[in-house]
Amino acid sequence: MARKTPQSGSSHGQPVSSPAPAIPQAALEIYDTTLRDGAQAEDVSFSVEDKVRVAQQLDGLGVQFIEGGWPGANPKDIEFFRMIKRVPLQTATVVAFGSTRKASNAVQDDPNIKSLLDAETQVITLFGKSWSLHVTDALNISLAKNLELIGDSVAYLRSKGRRLFYDAEHFFDGYKTNPDYALETIRQAVAAGAERVILCDTNGGTMPWEIKEICQVVRRECAVPLGIHAHNDCEMAVANSLMAIETGIVQVQGTINGIGERCGNANLCSILPNLELKMKRPVLGDRLSHLKQVSGFVTEIANLMPNTHQPYVGDSAFAHKGGIHIHAVLKNPATYEHVIPKLVGNRQRMLVSDAAGRSGLLEKVEAYGIKLDKGHAKLQELMDVLKERESEGYQFEAAEGSFELLMRKAMGTHKPSFQLLGFRVIVEKKQDQGAMLSEATVMVKVGEVVEHAAASGAGPVNALDHALRKALEKFYPQLKEVKLLDYKVRVLSANRGTESKVRVLIESGDHTDKWGTVGVSENIMEASWQALADSIEYKLLAKD
């Protein structure tokens, strides 16, 4: 959309008497910030490989923009932007995020500005101060100086050929305190070349009716399309985002599952289906059915406990327990379900029988090239095995390798590459200040050959991994390509203390692919073995 030159005589501050322009049904832009704002949530720590995998999931979901991180803030984000260049994305544009220059630096010499350019993204989101309190108390500069920082930072990045989105940080608090100045900050960004202005409720304290009134004013005053970035400190982030869209804002920002600083960000897992199904605003189309899977994937990769009661995507969202409810839903699901569950990738559950969704499972099976009809006995067998495993604590959203192996075993098409005869792991510490010593021995059978190997490692799981590779690489040289990229442990039943069951999630990769595998046991080494063994089996399966 072409930019208009701001009118010097435009009104400032309070709403003017002239009516707001008619709200067009413009195409909405979905901007995901899970990898940056979401990563700032307490208890969340994404590895670089995690971030790449999440980006691929978001791309498959159909979001338009993925905020990859702040390249000037930490080495991890720098590495992400380097790696993501080699990952083909179908729908999404990766965005680098950063701040305006420091007051003491010339814009061309500012390290943060340089890092944004070094990330080599087509789009940059730059944030600046809109609240006079932050300018004087946080930056300790004059209001005029802050306008200078905004203007020349945006103009410099635009001169380097980048598209610029401008995040007006703390805009709503700033507007309520000093509306003239808050509006002037965004005029500076637009005049310098910003093509979107994102109004940020950074403290998450604004109410929906305030959002509506302020957004209407800003639409009159701003010459470019607007976006909304809401935090959830008053449990209003989703409502505020939808209200902003109702006023004509075209870009909505949020995170998967609403993870983020303090109380979190606007939850895209609620915003997206509300837009598509309630407001009849097309955003994802058929890809909306992938929403629950993506929600579960991010939960697992972030090593968080799933919120089973989350709207739309939680396991309890369409679960029915009361007898009257079940009786009515069996006659007509609309009696107690506001949307059809499969539209968001979820399923109806009767807690008496916990019936699984045959159609959804059939779709997964067919995705691996296996053709079955809905009444096939093997499909029911796989469903029974899957339900049993899930009741034991297995989750397969981020363990696609283990799921494919489970499926092929149930279908009777899998031939094991090796048989475990036994393993032993020894962990030893000789002195209080000395390093821990870990050693593993493994005995496996390949065909009719028994192989025994021992190896040490940085820890017991690393040692077991080395020993298993050592035993198998002479039979399968391609295993030399495999690397263990990530290892996560989640306690599933904390009330049992050190006897608690744990779930181990492993990410492995080679030169061309990455895959996840999972194991569950009361013994962390047993769970680790399951995940390691599946990782090896999946690699060899891919070469069949």
Query: How would residue 23 be classed by pLDDT, with cut points 50, 70 and 90?
Result: low
Q: What pLDDT, on the 0 to 100 scale, is given for residue 19?
A: 45
Residue 8 has pLDDT above 60, yes or no: no
Q: What pLDDT, on the 0 to 100 scale, is given for residue 497?
A: 73
Residue 368 has pLDDT above 50, yes or no: yes
**Of 196 and 510, more confident:** 196
Residue 15 has pLDDT above 60, yes or no: no
> Concatenated DSSP letters for 233-297?
TTS-HHHHHHHHHHTT--EEEEBGGG--STT-B-BHHHHHHIIIIIS---SSGGGGGGHHHHHHH
Residue 354 has pLDDT above 60, yes or no: no
Q: Which CATH class is domain 29-301?
A: alpha beta
Averaged pLDDT score across all residues of the chain:
90
Residue 195 has pLDDT above 90, yes or no: yes
Mean pLDDT lowest for which of 242-246, 352-356, 386-390? 352-356
Q: What pLDDT, on the 0 to 100 scale, is given for residue 17?
A: 35
Q: Which residue has 């309520």 as its token pair?
A: 176
pLDDT tens, position by position, 30-80: 999 999 999 999 999 999 999 999 999 999 999 999 999 999 888 999 999
d(CA 207, CA 239): 9
Q: What pLDDT, on the 0 to 100 scale, is given for residue 207?
A: 98
Query: How would residue 408 be classed by pLDDT, with cut points 50, 70 and 90?
Result: confident
Residue 301 phi/psi, 5-degree rounding, is: -65, -35
Residue 300 has pLDDT above 80, yes or no: yes
**Of 21 and 358, more confident:** 358
**Average pLDDT of the segment spanning 343-355:** 71
pLDDT tens, position by position, 83-141: 999 999 999 999 999 999 999 999 999 999 999 999 999 999 999 999 999 999 999 99
- Decide: 344 and 273 in contact? Cβ < 8 Å: yes
Residue 540 has pLDDT above 80, yes or no: yes
What's the count of helices (H) and strands (E) in the chain, helices before strands? Answer: 17, 16
